[in-house]
A and B are shown apart, each in its own frame.
Chain A
């Protein structure tokens, strides 16, 4: 039997780390997906930059596809 809290997390609710400080909580409340930050902090700076490049490439690809579509 899955409890309610676990189910909520499965559905995307962020589990605040027990040791989260006020700035961390404020950023989460502001709307940042802090689970992404937790993941990013486990990476090296070089890996973070590579991840950023992949995201950027995807965004630009979608943008270009949109522009091609609009030009038709």
Chain B
């Protein structure tokens, strides 16, 4: 299934989902030369917001990609109250929705440590570089720690060359 981050982001935007871009795509936006096979977001896990995510993915055959039977995404009020994360496979690729980010905190904290950037298809929030470094450090896997080295280099360069985003 092809991963189309632009299309996924556009759909989330159209449905007014409250979210912050985290993970590898956030690293790419900051300038890291990574290739990542999913789109990770941190979002408010209110019923209303989860319903917006469901609406954004509704005609994309969304399913809980980590469940044994790939259960379809069919939210109920009860389920909305129990979920902490939603790992989806869709016709536009993988969309992982997290309620909190290790090393940063819950959605409110993630939102505080995010920056806004305007793309041609909308205004999006993404983790700031310090928070992304904290998040990757907290995960602590080898690949994340190597990414931390890269992000630290980018941070250093941006501090030196203020014109760089």
Q: Interface of A with B (CB < 8 Å)?
A: 19, 21-24, 26-28, 30, 32-34, 36-37, 40-41, 43-46, 48-50, 52-53, 55-57, 59-60
Closest Cβ–Cβ distance, residue B99 to chain A (whole Å) = 24
B156 and A23 contact, CB distance less than 8 A = yes
Given known contacts A53-B6, A55-B35, A45 and B29 CB-to-CB distance under 8 angstroms: yes
Chain A residues with CB under 8 Å of B35's CB are: 52, 55-56, 59
**B-to-A contact residues, CB < 8 Å:** 2-6, 25, 28-37, 117, 119-120, 146, 149-150, 152-158, 160-161, 164-165
B152 and A23 within 8 A (CB): yes
Residues of A contacting B120 with CB < 8 Å?
46
Cβ-defined contact, B2 with A41, below 8 A: no
